[in-house]
Amino acid sequence: MSDKDLKAMTADIETPSFETTAFTTPPPLAEATVAIVTTSSLHHPDQDDFAPADTGYRVLDGSRRDYVTGHWSPNFDAVGFAYDMNTVFPLDRLDELAEQGVIGKVADQHLAYAGNQFELSAIRMDSGPAGGRWLKEQGVDVVLLTPV
Amino acid sequence: MSTLAHVFEAEGLATIALGSMRNQIEHTAPPRGLFCDFPLGRPLGVPGDSEFQHGVLAAAFALLGAPEPVFAQYPISIEDDASEIVACTLPPRHDPDAHPAVDEARGLRNAYDRGVELTGNRGGTGRVVDADGIPSAIEAFIRVAEGTPWKEAGIPGIPARVSQDIRGYYETAALAMVDHAPSAWAGTRWFLDETETGKAILAARDAMRDSGEKHGLWFYLTPGDR
């Protein structure tokens, strides 16, 4: 078993393409509010676990550290995240960058989706735009997207 | 994930997408994409290495200066050579009347509890089976391996999810028995290749496949290349 074999096995999975690419120019990073959005199905223990083909999102409280992965795929190394959450969800690193003034502010809340999706229309048309609008309402300027 | 980058950007957010699968991030072409050739599950590269993680973040945030959509590759790759297995001592036989896998899981309970104390329970044991229920969940998979149809074996949930909880139990126990961040997949290889429970899960998977169960029911019991 190896990472190379798993990547080869999943290389042919169809991925969406976009005819046009939306592009937003951010404010200077030192003035920007940055959030993490991860597709690793993270949630807090007191939130609902992700169901198979769950197209919704969970709001992650940046003041907590009790994140659990609810990803359904067995095809990723889970020990890296178990050892150090920053391997997937680099919140401590963002806090350090904010303290250094590299980024303006770390958002108070972040989002998690489930990345193991084969039918993406609901995310493209519904929960994705809803999550984006919610982040905008929180004053977020820049989103760092992390997978597993 | 790159899909969300497109969607968010249309909502007025600037995004940077990290990706570990080159073909996927290239094809979906997020507005700002950074391909990091790291093992699956480790988008920031190296657990416990803040300097390395800051290097990845610096490369990611540097893309915000691009005036148009941009794709870049992080200059450092991390390759899994499929050789490392965590060196964890397995408990000696304690209950001769118990199946070796069940005895083993019971013997690892203290290590699991220490692992939770050290790192939290991020591995997710408890999504459908908590630590107390792991031995009986293993017994159910043993029954499947011995020929009982999975629906009659007493698996306490969707088989793949139960299997994930069992794997999480073992990998959390392993973290308590090593003094460093294991290389990618080193914990999973240990679980599947070295432990009695890993062998039982693999045998149950084979039995479900051979009895004609739906592909999705047995395939996701382990990583797909097994």
Q: Evaluate if residue B127 carries a pLDDT over 80.
A: yes
Distance from CA of B96 to the nearest CA of A (A): 31
pLDDT of residue A117: 81
Work out whether strand A57-61 and strand A42-43 pair parallel, antiparallel, or are unpaired: unpaired
pLDDT in tens, chain A (148 residues): 789 999 998 878 888 889 999 999 999 999 999 999 999 999 999 999 999 889 999 999 999 999 999 999 999 999 999 999 999 999 999 999 999 999 999 999 999 999 988 788 899 999 999 999 999 999 999 999 999 9
The residues facing A38 across adjacent strands are A112, A146
Considering only CB atoms, A21 lies closest to which of B6, B39, B60, namely: B6
Among chain B residues, the shortest Cα distance to A126 is held by B7
Query: In chain A, helix, strand, coil percent, each to 5?
Result: 30, 20, 50
CA neighbor of B128 nearest in space, from B157, B159, B93: B157
Write out residues 85-114 of B within 8 Å (CB-CB) of A.
Answer: none
Separation of alpha carbons B12 and B78, rounded Å: 34
Separation of alpha carbons A2 and B47, rounded Å: 18
Considering only CB atoms, B80 lies closest to which of A3, A85, A142, namely: A3
**Running DSSP on this structure, what letter comes out for residue B11?**
T
Determine what percent of chain A is predicted with pLDDT higher than 90: 84
Domain boundaries, chain B: 2-73, 100-219
Task: Kindly state the average pLDDT of the residues B84-99.
Answer: 94
DSSP run (H or E) holding B72: strand B70-73
Answer yes or no: are the C-beta atoms of A53 and A117 closer than 8 Å.
Answer: yes
- The one-letter amino acid code at B207 reads A
Answer yes or no: are the C-beta atoms of B84 and B39 closer than 8 Å.
Answer: no
Whether the complex's predicted ipTM is more than 0.90 is answered with yes
- The one-letter amino acid code at B69 reads P
Angle between helices B50-62 and A91-99 (to 10 degrees): 70
Separation of alpha carbons A28 and B76, rounded Å: 27
Q: Which phi-psi region, left, alpha or beta, contains residue B201 (left: φ > 0; alpha: ψ -120 to 50)?
A: alpha
> How does B90-103 read in b/e, with b if 16+ C-beta sit within 10 Å?
beeeeeeebbbbbb
Write out residues 119-178 of B within 8 Å (CB-CB) of A.
Answer: 119-124, 126-127, 158, 160-161, 163-164, 167-168, 171-172, 174-175
Q: Which residues, 6 or more positions from A46, have their beta carbon under 8 angstroms from its beta carbon?
A: none
User: Is the CB of residue B45 less than 8 Å away from at least one CB of chain A?
Assistant: yes
